[in-house]
């Protein structure tokens, strides 16, 4: 195909996709189906793969995230990102109005907007192309989060006009997306985000932009800071201009020269805020006229031309009837308060997490206490105060159980940690997750043993822990729903094949807390067998480079638990390989060679590809240099590919990479 025709088709596809991104992510009014949109994107991806030299930074395909950073670069704000002065009463708003009118000497018009509870950022566009973004930081210096911001679909990578400008906005996560995100983390037994703001801030400040890309971030642009060539006269005009450029502005804007009307609007939204799909914690009132803003100026901390009216937190009193302990999938014991139901922020709540034992002791929370409940960020119920003056003397202090309420195993709390954990590998609250982890690719790689099959095996009492997998019979499996003769045969073969994965992968598969694949490899290489690991003392683990006290304590605690010892004995009887693999030619195949991965491989995740390299003695790094031996380029390669070409580094596609590994 003629290169000019390719360029024309690529640009046409990009324009079409940008248009649909705008209607979907900014206007919330999609005009084509998801399938039609996917077809457009697939065509664009295909053309860019064939002609990588035509990939540009503003292409819609460049939102997936790139290689992790070691740290964020610093960005100095040309104009400081100041914080707003807060007002908590009508009187404080009237005082603000009085100061403004006295300074200006005439009536002043205000613009009222939502105060989005998120993370403030600055965005820079050059000739209409998004070139840089930064967090607020300390107001003078922020962090360069450009690659992370590119993953937010409501941020256009190209404006509708080629202006050079700076805008400021608030990154946030909607209430519904926040609940979904926390539910996913709950199922993975990851710490829950306290509120949407924390979730947004944590997501935007990920050093790995691929993690940011997986989070449902959104943005509202609230200020035009600078634009080359001209500047609108008012904030209202600037907001309209930004909307015309394709930037997403607040869905609610109110204009008035009456502070009494402004106060009325603030009260109205205090009552209605729970109806919004995103979180607001107040309203922002700004002087509309830019010339007046210059006259008013700023203090060292805040502009004199704007103020934030903060909504009061909604609180309710109730009585704690019980404190129950729930066991998470990694064995964390979480105390939860059960109280008389109360209505807060539009919903009935009857439970609130108490986090850990230290939190309960710090607040002196007891069963029978009258407490004040509010929702953190209007989402998660929390106990904020104990009404000690209402105690009768019959309240019962909470004591964390010494044995797991689900399985009876010992509960341990490692030094320096707040969490108490169950040590039992056969704990019913943990077993499903542990078995799924045991069968995962980086561990024992048992194909066909997905979550649904594991759940059925548990429900039918065919297994209690991962070791029981090696004692399954064909007649047991065919009785499981949707498990036919062929599927049963294939699963048994996969289980049998997994016996020889090696000590490191087995150790990782056991799900020992804090022991990732790298730590498992180091421990396996050092001790050589499971028996040596089981009898080793903490000090022996600390002799290994990269193994710290917490990992050492975790491994020792794991193998001190009787249930875990019994599981290892079952693995031995099933002839699972429990020694380090003997050295062979494959292990040293890539010794001394340094690799960099860029783009997406069709057959392997980046973690899997890295493991294949490291198993053969190679080393994987994040950046291309003159010392790099090979760059492995998958689909949608990043700037590392160009860097490799400029340095003359050998570039391999996926097929060539597999040939090098000897596993074609």
Task: Return the closest-CA partner of residue 250 out of 227, 207, 283.
Answer: 283
Q: Taking the CA of residue 191 as centre, how many other CA atoms within 13 Å lie in the half-sphere pointing to its CB?
A: 10
Rounded (to 5) percent helix, strand, coil in the chain: 40, 20, 40
Please tell me whether residue 622 adopts helix, strand or coil conformation.
coil
User: Looking at 115, 248, 310, 375, which residue is catalytic?
Assistant: 115
The contacts of residue 260 (CB under 8 Å, 6+ apart) are none
Q: Are 209 and 66 in contact (CB under 8 A)?
A: yes
410 bridge partner residues: 403
Dig out the tokens for 163 from the structure. 């202006």
Q: Are 130 and 155 in contact (CB under 8 A)?
A: yes
Q: Does residue 486 carry a catalytic annotation?
A: no
The contacts of residue 202 (CB under 8 Å, 6+ apart) are 193
Please tell me the total number of residues recorded for the chain in this structure: 664
* Phi, psi (deg, nearest 5) at residue 105: 90, 10
DSSP H or E segment with residue 91: helix 90-104
Q: Taking the CA of residue 323 as centre, how many other CA atoms within 13 Å lie in the half-sphere pointing to its CB?
A: 24
The region, left, alpha or beta by phi > 0 then psi within -120 to 50, assigned to residue 505 is alpha
DSSP, res 487? H
* Phi, psi (deg, nearest 5) at residue 299: -85, -175
Torsion of CA 522, 528, 530, 536, to 10 degrees: -80
The contacts of residue 637 (CB under 8 Å, 6+ apart) are 52, 598, 599
Q: What's the CA gap between 510 and 9, in Å, rounded?
A: 52
* Phi, psi (deg, nearest 5) at residue 401: -65, 145
Q: What's the CA gap between 627 and 190, in Å, rounded?
A: 38
Q: What's the CA gap between 365 and 376, in Å, rounded?
A: 18
Q: What's the CA gap between 113 and 429, in Å, rounded?
A: 46
Active-site positions?
115
């Amino acid at each position: 195909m003629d290169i000019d025709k390719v360029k024309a088709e690529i640009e046409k596809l990009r324009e079409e996709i940008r248009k649909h991104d705008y209607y979907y992510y900014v206007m919330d009014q999609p005009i084509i189906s998801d399938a039609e949109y996917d077809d457009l994107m697939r065509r664009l991806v295909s053309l860019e793969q064939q002609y990588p030299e035509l990939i540009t930074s503003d292409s819609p395909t460049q939102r997936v995230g790139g290689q992790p950073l070691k740290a964020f670069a610093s960005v100095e704000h040309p104009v400081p990102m100041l914080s707003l002065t807060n007002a908590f009463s009508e009187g404080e708003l009237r005082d603000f109005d009085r100061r403004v009118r006295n300074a200006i000497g005439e009536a002043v018009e205000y613009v009222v907007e939502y105060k989005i509870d998120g993370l403030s950022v600055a965005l820079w566009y050059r000739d209409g192309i998004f070139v840089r973004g930064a967090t607020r930081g300390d107001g003078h210096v922020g962090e360069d989060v450009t690659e992370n911001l590119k993953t937010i679909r409501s941020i256009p990578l190209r404006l509708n006009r080629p202006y050079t400008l700076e805008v400021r906005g608030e990154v946030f996560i909607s209430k519904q997306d926040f609940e979904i995100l926390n539910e996913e983390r709950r199922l993975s037994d990851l710490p829950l985000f306290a509120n949407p703001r924390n979730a947004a801030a944590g997501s935007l400040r990920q050093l790995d932009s691929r993690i940011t890309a997986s989070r449902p971030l959104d943005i509202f642009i609230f200020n035009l800071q600078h634009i080359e060539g001209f500047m609108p006269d008012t904030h209202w005009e600037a907001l309209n201009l930004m909307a015309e450029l394709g930037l997403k502005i607040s869905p609610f804007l109110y204009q008035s020269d009456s502070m009494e009307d402004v106060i009325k609007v603030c009260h109205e939204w205090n009552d209605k805020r729970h109806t919004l799909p995103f979180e607001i914690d107040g309203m922002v009132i700004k002087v509309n006229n830019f010339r007046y803003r210059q006259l008013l100026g700023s203090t060292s901390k805040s502009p004199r031309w704007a103020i934030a009216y903060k909504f009061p937190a909604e609180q309710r009193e109730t009585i704690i009837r019980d404190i129950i302990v729930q066991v998470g999938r990694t064995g964390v014991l979480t105390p939860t308060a059960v109280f008389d139901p109360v209505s807060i922020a539009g919903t009935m709540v009857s439970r609130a997490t108490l986090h850990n034992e230290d939190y309960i002791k710090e607040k002196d929370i007891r069963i029978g206490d009258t407490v004040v409940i509010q929702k953190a960020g209007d989402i998660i119920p929390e106990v904020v105060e104990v009404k000690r003056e209402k105690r009768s003397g019959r309240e019962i202090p909470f004591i964390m159980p010494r044995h797991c309420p689900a399985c009876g195993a010992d509960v341990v709390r490692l030094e320096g940690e707040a969490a108490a954990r169950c040590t039992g590998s056969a704990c019913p609250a943990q077993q499903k997750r542990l078995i799924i982890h045991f069968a995962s690719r980086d561990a024992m790689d048992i194909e066909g043993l997905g979550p649904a099959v594991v759940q059925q095996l548990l429900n039918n009492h065919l297994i209690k822990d991962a070791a029981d997998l090696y004692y399954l019979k064909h007649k047991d499996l065919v009785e499981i729903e949707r498990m036919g003769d062929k599927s049963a045969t294939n699963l048994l073969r996969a289980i049998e094949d997994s016996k020889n994965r090696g000590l490191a992968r087995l150790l990782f598969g056991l799900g020992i807390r804090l022991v990732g694949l790298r730590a498992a490899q180091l421990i396996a290489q050092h001790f050589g067998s499971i028996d040596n690991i089981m009898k080793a003392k903490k000090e022996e683990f600390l002799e290994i480079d990269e193994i710290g006290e917490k990992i050492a304590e975790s491994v020792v605690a794991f193998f001190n638990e009787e249930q875990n010892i019994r599981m290892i004995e079952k693995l031995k009887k099933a002839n699972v390989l429990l020694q380090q693999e003997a050295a062979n030619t494959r292990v040293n195949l890539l010794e001394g060679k340094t690799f960099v991965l860029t783009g997406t491989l069709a057959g392997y995740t980046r973690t899997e590809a890295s493991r294949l390299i490291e198993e053969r003695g190679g080393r994987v790094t994040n950046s291309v240099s003159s010392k790099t031996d090979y760059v492995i380029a998958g689909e949608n390669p990043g700037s590392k590919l160009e860097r490799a070409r400029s340095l003359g580094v050998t570039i391999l596609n996926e097929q060539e990479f597999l040939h090098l590994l000897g596993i074609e």
